[in-house]
Structure 1
Amino acid sequence: MKILKQTINIKTCLGCVVVQAEEEDDMYHLYNLINVGDAVEATTVRNVVNESKSGARDKSRIMTKITIQVENIDFDSEQCTLRLKGMSIKENEHLKLGQYHTLTLELNRPCEITKEHWDSLHLEALADMAEPTKKADLAVLTMQEGLANLCLVKAALTKTCAKIERSLPKKRQQGNQAYDTALSKFFSDIYESVQKNINFEVIKVILVGSPGFLKDDFLQYLLDRAVRDECTSLLKNKSKFVKAHTSSGHKRAIEEMLSDPAVSAMVGEAKAADEVRALQTFYDTLAADPDRACYGLSQVTSADEQLAVADLLITDTLCRSSDFAQRSRYVQLIDSVRSNGGKVFQFSSLHCTGEQLNLYTGIAATLRFPLPDIAEEEEEEQVESEADTDEGGDFDVDYDDLQSNF
């Protein structure tokens, strides 16, 4: 990502930036940066109808620069495209003031983003965009008999490059020719997908996981085929393939592999591994010492007020809240945890780890010391809130109890 211009007043938090996405992953960073209500200016294609004096209508597509106030944001994680819908706030000869248009942000074309308030998370996102070391990637191949998923695990999202499916006959006995033939074709499909989708100049590690010995059989097939095909790129990079055990070949097995400390150490340069380690620490703590782990905004905020948060885990979905007051609460919590010496891990909702964290409300914390009363405090607050709501309001009558009293 190139930051071409940045004029943000730190005191007033007003200003704008001009950025240019250079690769697909940059679109995700823009998705995290742009909020509903922002003004975005970019070059776009617009259909224009010209009418001559004779009444003839001529349609054409022209390039024009427009500025909209964003009302809807749509990000396609598979295609890595970002579409912004909103109302025009600057009139030009092809678009009237107040007309709606959908901007599709494209690679290598600059766009200008103006906000009424740039908070610390926005500024952090800009810093991440400009940091080239954030681009460390790894590839993951999960497989089981008849199913394989080849994915790129980037700094912020997991992108499926290929899903390979092939029906295999049951292996009733050794030397089953039909099974061996089908398995060979299945391996061939995976081999071709690896060649097509893996750039060995960028990828540092290719994790291969499966139940049983399927991964071992495939890697042996891959090396034998590479020798036969004289595929030097595969042979030169065979040391990058790392085996790991998984319970299935589904995409969710990625987290299972990265949770293994030995595997995690091998891919330590990939940012996703840091989030996986933090999430696994939270899981382990919650199971072994539940008083040193909590989740939900109320509990985590209470823990932070007591200077107890060691690791804060939060999904980008919460940080992108269109509710300014709600977003401000999360930003203040993040800033407070950091100022108190805690670590903050922001999880992408498009990554398998983010999906797992969403099962725990999207926000959780591992604590420095036990807080056994934190859950009880929240329950007392809920009871008091319900009592205040019921006071002076409607009440329910249990007619069975009434009848039993007569």
Structure 2
Amino acid sequence: MKLVGNKKIVLDKPGTVKIIPEEPDDLWSLYNLIVPGDTITTTSSRKIHHDSGKITGAARVKLSLEIKITSVDYDKVSSTVRVQGKNVTANEHVATGSFHTLTLEKNKEFVLTKKVWDSVAFDTLREGCNVSSSADLAVVLMQQGLANVFLVGKRVTTLCAKINGSSNNKFFENVFGAFVKHVDFNTIRCVVIGSPGSVKDEFRRFILSEAQRLKLKSIEDNKSRIVVANISQRNTHDLNEVLNDNAVLSMIKDTKVVPEIRVFKEFLDVLKSNSDRACYGSKSVETAHEMLAIETLLITDDLFRNAEIEMRHKYVGLVKSVKKAGGKVFVFSSIHVSGEELAKLTGIGAILRFPLPDLDEMDM
């Protein structure tokens, strides 16, 4: 995500920025950044009907619109954000107060204005502008005749291709085609091929053989980045098993997704082995923080998109307060592999500095 111009925003103050999203991850960041009450200015087009007496017709006109946001939606398939709101600046084609829907997409410039840039919005923008925010891990999950190719970034996990086939050679050719199309070693740091049995090893040999035959230097020069992992038969669609394997975590340690995976794994381990030093659920976490017990806070980004402004402010304040007390905070994407698992546990949890055995009773 790129900022245009020299305008700087100030924490907890109003401000305006001009943004160009460049990657699919950027659109997810924008979905978490834009909230009802914000204002967006960008170009759009509208079909305008005209009647000049004898001739009637319609033409699509390009115009600049400034709308005050009432709702925000994200389309995972197309990696676009749709915002709806009321037009606040009149022009000859669109009346003030009329509703309009705008689509934000890659490489389309727009201007965002907020009444207050709180700490979560400030951090979301800063992290989104980090040039290393795109996916840097590829995962191919396979079994005989079926393969799924994923790209995994810090915030978004994308299923890029799903391949079915019966003939082994033809099947491998099709998976290899998807591999070449989606895996760019200029950004991908590691590729994990996971399968039960020997399929993963056979496919890795096929990749290297085809790369040599076709003189694909990008693959030949990066063959050490292509690793294999064993998975169970039932999990060829699920990234959780392969990404939570300690051996795999060691192999992908330099990718951006690992810190969140590691801390969520630690949270689950503590929850199982020493449950008095971990908690989840809003009330339990808030009570633990009142006692300054939170060492690490885990929270999903969808909690900041709560329809009630007071609830959004509550979670923003909690994050800010935990950091101020010396705790670490990890914000998980709700469409990421670890974020989806955290969401099943209310979307908020904490690893504690010291045991709180009676925390459940304190909540009552």
TM-score by length of 2: 0.94
Query: Deviation at 1:322?
Result: 2.6
| Secondary structure of 1:326 counterpart | helix
Q: For 1:344-363, what aligned pairs fall within 5 Å after superposition?
A: 344-363=329-348
Alpha carbons 1:26, 1:129 under 8 Å: kept: yes
Aligned to 2:32: 32
Residue of structure 2 equivalent to 1:42: 42
Measure, in 2, the Cα distance between the counterparts of 1:210 and 1:105.
Answer: 37
Determine helix, strand or coil for the equivalent of 1:66: strand
SS in 2 for 1:90: coil
Correspondence list, 1:74-223, <5 A: 74-135=73-134, 137-166=136-165, 168=166, 182-223=167-208
Cα distance in 2 for partners of 1:136, 1:270 equals 9
Say if 2:288 and 2:359, in contact at 8 Å, map to a contact too. Answer: yes
The alpha-carbon deviation at position 284 of structure 1 amounts to 0.6
SS across alignment from 1:46? strand
Whole-angstrom distance in 1 between the partners of 2:11 and 2:176: 52
How many angstroms apart in 2 are the aligned matches of 1:37 and 1:235? 51
Q: Would you say the 8 A contact 1:148–1:250 is kept in 2?
A: no
> Structure 1 161/10 Cα, relative in aligned 2: closer, same or farther at 3 Å?
closer
Name the CA distance, whole Å, in 1 between partners of 2:171 and 2:196.
Answer: 16
Q: How far apart, in 2, do the equivalents of 1:8 and 1:235 lie?
A: 45
The C-alpha deviation readout for 1:311-336, integer Å capped at 9, x for no partner, is 11111110122311101111111111
Superposed counterparts of 1:357-396, under 5 Å: 357-378=342-363, 381=364
2:172–2:203 contact (8 Å) kept in structure 1: yes
1:402 match: none
Cα distance in 2 for partners of 1:107, 1:217 equals 37
Deviation at 1:148, TM superposition (A): 1.1
Identify the residue that residue 253 of structure 1 maps to in structure 2: 238
- CA distance in 2 between counterparts of 1:79 and 1:251 reads 24
Once the two structures are superposed, what CA deviation does each residue of 1:210-230 show, in whole Å capped at 9, x if it has no partner? 112221111112222323333
SS in structure 1 of the partner of residue 257 of structure 2: helix
Displacement after TM superposition at 1:183 (Å): 2.0
Unaligned runs of 5+ in 1: 169-181, 382-406
Contact 2:41 2:112 in 1 (8 A): yes
User: Who is 1:276 aligned against?
Assistant: 261
Q: CA deviation at 1:259?
A: 1.6
CA apart distance, 1:136: 5.5
Q: Is the CA contact (8 Å cut-off) linking 1:156 and 1:350 kept in structure 2?
A: yes
Matched residue, 2:52: 52
Alpha-carbon distance between aligned partners in 1 of 2:304 and 2:153, rounded to the nearest angstrom: 20
Q: Which amino acid aligns with 1:272?
A: V
| 1:204-353 → structure 2 map (5 Å cutoff) | 204-248=189-233, 250=235, 253-353=238-338
SS at 2:316 equivalent: helix
Return the letter of the residue paired with 2:206.
Y
Which residue of structure 2 lines up, in the alignment, with residue 386 of structure 1?
none
Report the TM-score when normalising by structure 1.
Answer: 0.85
Q: Which has the larger radius of gyration?
A: 1
**Residue 134 of structure 1 aligns to a residue in which SS?**
coil
Kept after mapping to 2: 8 A contact 1:21/1:110: yes
Stretch moving more, 62-71 or 129-138: 129-138
Residue aligned with 2:132, SS: helix
Cα deviation, residue 248, structure 1: 4.2
Say which is worse superposed, 275-284 or 105-114, in terms of deviation: 105-114
Residue 71 (structure 1) aligns with: 70
For structure 2, the residue ranges without an aligned partner over 5 or more in a row are none
